[in-house]
Structure formats: C-alpha cells, structure tokens
Structure 1
C-alpha cells in the first residue's frame, strides 16, 4: 500500500461524517446506537438485549439500521426517527481549527456524504468549526434513504453533483463503504482509529486492508497536513 499521499489528480474531496471528520473516541456514535436501540425497544416492546441484537442485525445486513427497518416496513415517520436517534450531545466533539485550515486549503470541490441526517451533519460541522467549507452536505434523505455501501446510493450521489469518480477521493471509516467507492472509480482513504480509541464494545475492522483501500490512516488532520506539505514541495521543485 502506498503511504505517501499522491492526490494531484483530485478535484473533488468527499468526506464521510461520523468518526471520519472527528475522532472515533468522541462518544457520538455510541450515543446514536443507544438511541436506535431505545427506538427499537420502544416500538417493538422488546427487552434491551433483543432490541440491540435486532439493531445490530439490521446494520450488518442492510447497511444501516434505518434501511433494515424500511426493508421490513417497520418505520412510518422517517423524519421523526432521524430526529430521535440524532438527538445526542454534540459537545463531546472537540473543535478542530487545524483540520479546518487543512480542509479550507484543498483545491476543488468539498462535499460531505453521510448516512446520517442533515441536521446531525450541520451540528457536527458547526461543533468542529468547519462551517462554510463544504459545497453541500449530502444526507440519507437526499439519497432517497439508500445508504452507503449500496451502489445505487453512490450512483445517486455522483449523479446529483455531476462527479467524475476518477478525479475524486473519498475519506471514510468503513472498509465496506470504500469497497463501493473504489468500484465506481474513487481514490479511497480509510480513516482507521487506533484500536484503543474505539468505543466500548466496538469491533475494530482488520488492520490489514484489501486492495481497494489506497491509503489507511489513523488521523484525517495529519493526513491532510502531510498532503499539503507534499503538494507544496512538488510545486517548489517543479521547473
């Protein structure tokens, strides 16, 4: 796997949201998972253990818990579901001015592509201090509730923004989401946290990654900083 970033062909920068733009040790997704379990437990009158097992089954089988509920016709008010599960404490995210500087310095289009809701994305972006740095935030509703890693969702996303995959890089914390991104032609960067940074109960993905991962890094901020240094050096040495 190539370690030195070479992204000179890139004119579109696509970022996943959760545990990509902010570190995995920020307890956001653990709150969302708890809220999803709350919702399933309440709606289906299950025990906590049964609700968590169903939530995890839907996530593993269908890409997201919501997609599993939709496939099984088990959710009526989509907006209410998204509002409920994303009603979490965003103050656990630490503002990141260095990341903001690195993102602002990227040449080309910058887009957030998330399986979460737009309201949630806006709160995360605001908390990080990244307001005004992205062309758009593309959420699960914009994707007509077809989540990553499903190819139909990616095709809807690329079509919406008239993206050329061969000049696009995607930053993600999910190996399976990057599999689809690679299949349609994206350069792929896996943002993989150190195992000790994962939330309690989380299962780390393998540290040896398949060929569809072009770069594997443990810190987005550091990777982008290294990229800018490499790009600046290349400019200075080019006749």
Structure 2
C-alpha cells in the first residue's frame, strides 16, 4: 500500500468536538436566510437532499440554483479553533506512516486547511482533495474517487481509504481500495479494519503487512 486517503471531519478528530454542530447551524441559516426556504421545511429538505445526493449542497444546486462557491464560503465560516486543538498523539502516529498521505473530503480546501492547522497536522499531508475534485459531486459517488486516483497517479489497489462514513468506504472497496472505518458504527464486509481513533492507523496497517 503506497497511499492513504484520509477523510477530514469526524475522522481526523472526534465527533465529540461538535464541529459539525457549527456547520449544521450555518447550513440551516443558509437554506432559510439566503435561499429563502421556509424554516419549517429546512430539516425535511436537508434529510431528503442528503439521502438523494450525498450532501445538502447538491440538492440546493439542482433544485434552487445555488452557487456552490457561495454555499461553501458561508457554511464553512465557523470558529474552528474554538472546537479543535493540536493533537500530538495523532501527529506522531501519522509521522510513523511511510505511505503518502492526502486528505479526501466532501468539505472545502479552506475549511480543511483551518482544521489541519488547528490540529497541528497541515505539514503532514501532501495534498487536499475537496468537493471540487469532480464538479462538486461528493463521496460516495465514484467520480471523485477516480479523479483523486488520477491526480495521484495511483491505482486503487495501492490505496487505503480512512473514513467515519461506511457508505463512503463501500465505494472505495468497490473500486479496489483497502478500507478503514473510524468510530463505533456497524461495519459491513467491505470494511477491512475498524479503529476507534485515527491515531490507531499504525496498528491498522498490520492488516496489510500480515497479508
């Protein structure tokens, strides 16, 4: 295995940090105040768009002609350092991995930069691939995975995807990647290894070393 693709939010830090709660408020605010969707319809529409398209933004683009760049700027305008701090344990774990390391996320590069800076990890990743990689199509659509592999000049069988969302790992496995699920969720047979925290990645790599 030559390359490890890390998801960002709730993967490189614990969901207990509640960073997503800040983004949730911004998404609801955008839908109501900017797009003009009645407040009582916001939650139902968000669930519907998430289920149909993988991210709320795709539904807003398709049905409300929302500018994706405007949406990304608004939703990710949050106080990241108020929820995250440097993680020396994770930093040491990542430094011990000899593989190429990149971030592959459904968020934006600007948001990713802020998160990585807050965690003290920015210098440990050679690249960040965000929602723009395949014309705003998110994981678990296969197109962004293929686009990332092309950018890396890598084949799927040489890569490992590290994620907190099982559905995103299913696509990775179907393309031929190794898969690591972070967090306590039900795991399907498409998950090779399950860990509690991203800092356990050195131990997770034993799965492939043994093979």
TM-score normalised according to structure 2 size: 0.91
Confirm whether residue 211 of structure 1 aligns to residue 189 of structure 2: yes
SS in 2 for 1:94: coil
Query: Partners of 2:44 and 2:154 in 1: how far apart?
Result: 37
The number of aligned residues is 207
Confirm whether residue 63 of structure 1 aligns to residue 62 of structure 2: no
Q: Structure 1 residues 227 and 189 mapped into 2: Cα distance closer, same or farther (>3 Å)?
A: closer
Confirm whether residue 87 of structure 1 aligns to residue 65 of structure 2: no
Q: 1:183: how far off?
A: 0.4
1:105-133 C-alpha deviation (Å, 9 max, x unpaired): 21121110000010000000000000211
**Structure 1 gap ranges (5+):** 1-9, 194-206, 235-239
SS in 2 for 1:32: helix
Identify, as 1 or 2, the structure richer in helix: 2
Query: Partners of 1:23 and 1:109 in 2: how far apart?
Result: 23
Cα RMSD (Å) = 1.8
Structure 2 equivalent of residue 202 of structure 1: none
Range with greater deviation from structure 2 (54-63 or 120-129): 54-63
Structure 2 equivalent of residue 161 of structure 1: 152
Query: Partners of 1:159 and 1:72 in 2: how far apart?
Result: 30
Q: 1:44: how far off?
A: 3.9
Structure 2 equivalent of residue 100 of structure 1: 91
SS in 2 for 1:83: helix
Structure 1 equivalent of residue 163 of structure 2: 172
Query: Partners of 1:16 and 1:47 in 2: how far apart?
Result: 33
TM-score normalised according to structure 1 size: 0.81
The one of 26, 39, 54 aligned to 2:30 = 39
The one of 120, 136, 141 aligned to 1:145 = 136
SS in 2 for 1:72: helix
Range with greater deviation from structure 2 (126-135 or 52-61): 52-61
**Structure 2 gap ranges (5+):** none
Contact residue 181 and residue 187 of structure 2 kept, 8 A: no
Query: Partners of 1:227 and 1:52 in 2: how far apart?
Result: 37
Query: Partners of 1:61 and 1:12 in 2: how far apart?
Result: 30
Query: Partners of 2:122 and 2:174 in 1: how far apart?
Result: 31
Range with greater deviation from structure 2 (21-30 or 46-55): 46-55
Contact residue 49 and residue 55 of structure 2 kept, 8 A: yes
Query: Partners of 2:149 and 2:203 in 1: how far apart?
Result: 27
Q: 1:227: how far off?
A: 4.6
